[in-house]
């Protein structure tokens, strides 16, 4: 990580300010690419975690494709210079208009339901497409820090419907060439992935025209103290092992695809904020108010997510127990509770860490605020 003078940045650009370290993004990409030790593999960056044009340009420079899930993202990635062949689309509830656009542009698409397959086959013939696989609830993240889990979801096509989608595809002279899966976000446990990898490859082998297995992502990162780093190398090696076995079975190379977002961006971004008020709660407890909150960073209120908070330029001051409160009217808008920080004063700056993914892109401005600026170093 490069040394950054955050006070200077705050004075120059104002706060709240998202600050990204482009080198860290590139380091993360390289680390994941090195772990993806399989010749026929493709990495699509999940644009949903942050679609800023500067991030897209780092992604393109590093040779990754992009995973998108809306027409807006399609426009953004095309503007950023991505070719149609470097774009993969996976979403739910795809409208007829959007599907027509994706077909016209020849973008790789993974369909979520029997109904979407039907729609696709009415609109297009002699084409390829992939299907999203319904991941059973038995393969699910158990730990609390995981979000976006499949526990209550109907995303994807069930195994019992494979025959009918194959029939629809056949009737329209289309071929089902890929499978796609995703079961939860920010998963730190190994066990669900150890069940997921063989499950995906077993499902994939129902499709005679198979060309790829897209495992999505969900790879977690440690946000809170004591959380262990996710062993992405081990999981990618496991994916490779199963896809190699499939390649052997099909007697042709099957492509292994992943779509990471968080592992590329989260630790490359911080939210720089200023302390606007300090409330004395009791003899040893204070509440800090800052010039940001739910409007700028939704994850803590939305998911109870932990983000490390650090002081800026306060070396050697006495540690004090603080709650850090967002400046909205929402009663539970806390960015952190019971954080031991060096004693701070009104006007000092704080950094909320690891917010590069699902930070700025989820900033709603609610209630009554502007969307924060984003700065790239």
Contacts with ligand PLP by CB under 6 A lie at 46, 48-49, 67, 90, 148, 182, 185, 216-219, 259-263, 357
Give me the least distance between CB of 219 and ligand PLP, in Å please: 5
Give me the least distance between CB of 10 and ligand PLP, in Å please: 28
Give exposure, 312-343, as e/b (b: 16+ Cβ within 10 Å).
Answer: beeeeeeebebbbbbbbeeeebbbbeebebee
Please, which residue, 88 or 247, has the CB nearer to ligand PLP?
88
Distances (CA, A) of 205 to 196, 216, 308, 368: 14, 18, 43, 52
CA pair distance 261, 47, nearest whole angstrom? 7
CA pair distance 108, 88, nearest whole angstrom? 5
> Strands 334-342 and 269-282, how do they pair?
unpaired
Of 85, 42, 81, nearest in space to 64 by CA: 42
Q: What angle do CA 37, 234, 183 make, to 5 degrees?
A: 105
Give me the least distance between CB of 44 and ligand PLP, in Å please: 8
Give me the least distance between CB of 167 and ligand PLP, in Å please: 26
CA pair distance 197, 242, nearest whole angstrom? 7
Give me the least distance between CB of 187 and ligand PLP, in Å please: 8
Please, which residue, 9 or 68, has the CB nearer to ligand PLP?
68
Give me the least distance between CB of 185 and ligand PLP, in Å please: 4
Please, which residue, 231 or 287, has the CB nearer to ligand PLP?
231
Of 148, 257, 132, 236, nearest in space to 190 by CA: 236
Please, which residue, 46 or 117, has the CB nearer to ligand PLP?
46
If phi > 0 it is left, if psi is from -120 to 50 it is alpha, else beta; for residue 108 that is: beta
Please, which residue, 148 or 194, has the CB nearer to ligand PLP?
148
Please, which residue, 15 or 67, has the CB nearer to ligand PLP?
67
Please, which residue, 261 or 300, has the CB nearer to ligand PLP?
261
Token pair listed for 350: 């704080």
> Strands 255-258 and 41-46, how do they pair?
parallel
Give me the least distance between CB of 41 and ligand PLP, in Å please: 15
Give me the least distance between CB of 148 and ligand PLP, in Å please: 5
Distances (CA, A) of 135 to 21, 93, 162, 195: 35, 18, 14, 11
Q: Which residue has the tokens 């952190």?
A: 336
Please, which residue, 14 or 304, has the CB nearer to ligand PLP?
304
CA pair distance 275, 324, nearest whole angstrom? 9
Give me the least distance between CB of 319 and ligand PLP, in Å please: 33
Backbone torsions φ then ψ of 282, nearest 5 degrees: -160, -170
Please, which residue, 174 or 185, has the CB nearer to ligand PLP?
185
**Cis check: omega of the bond before 16, within 30 degrees of 0:** yes
């Amino acid at each position: 990580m490069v040394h950054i003078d955050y006070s200077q940045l705050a004075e120059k650009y104002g706060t709240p300010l998202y600050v990204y370290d482009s080198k860290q993004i590139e380091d993360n990409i390289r680390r994941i690419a090195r772990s993806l030790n399989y010749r026929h593999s493709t990495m699509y960056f999940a644009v949903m975690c942050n679609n800023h044009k500067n991030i897209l340009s780092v992604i393109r420079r590093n040779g990754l494709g992009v995973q998108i899930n809306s027409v807006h993202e399609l426009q953004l990635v095309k503007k950023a210079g991505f070719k149609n062949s470097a774009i993969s689309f996976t979403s739910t509830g795809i409208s007829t208009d959007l599907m027509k656009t994706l077909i016209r542009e020849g973008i790789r698409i993974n369909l979520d339901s029997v109904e979407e397959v039907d729609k696709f086959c009415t609109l297009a013939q002699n084409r390829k497409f992939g299907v999203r696989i319904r991941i059973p609830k038995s393969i699910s993240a158990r730990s609390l820090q995981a979000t976006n889990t499949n526990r209550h979801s109907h995303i994807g096509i069930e195994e019992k419907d494979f025959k009918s989608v194959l029939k629809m595809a056949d009737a329209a002279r289309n071929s089902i060439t890929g499978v796609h899966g995703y079961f939860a976000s920010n998963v730190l446990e190994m066990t669900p992935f150890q069940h997921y990898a063989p499950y995906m490859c077993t499902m994939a082998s129902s499709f005679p025209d198979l060309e790829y297995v897209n495992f999505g992502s969900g790879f977690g990162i440690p946000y809170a103290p004591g959380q262990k780093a996710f062993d992405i190398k081990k999981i990618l090696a496991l994916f490779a092992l199963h896809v190699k076995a499939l390649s052997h079975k099909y007697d042709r190379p099957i492509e292994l695809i992943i779509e990471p977002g968080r592992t590329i961006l989260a630790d490359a971004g911080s939210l720089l904020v200023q302390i606007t008020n300090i409330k004395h709660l009791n003899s040893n407890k204070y509440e800090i108010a800052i010039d940001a909150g739910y409007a700028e960073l939704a994850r803590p209120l939305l998911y109870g997510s932990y983000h490390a908070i650090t002081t800026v330029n306060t070396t050697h001051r006495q540690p004090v127990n603080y709650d850090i409160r967002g400046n909205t009217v929402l009663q539970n808008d806390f960015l952190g509770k019971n954080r031991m920080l060096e004693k701070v004063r009104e006007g000092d700056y704080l950094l909320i860490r690891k917010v590069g993914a699902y930070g700025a892109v989820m900033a709603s401005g609610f209630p009554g605020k502007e969307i924060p600026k984003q700065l790239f170093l």
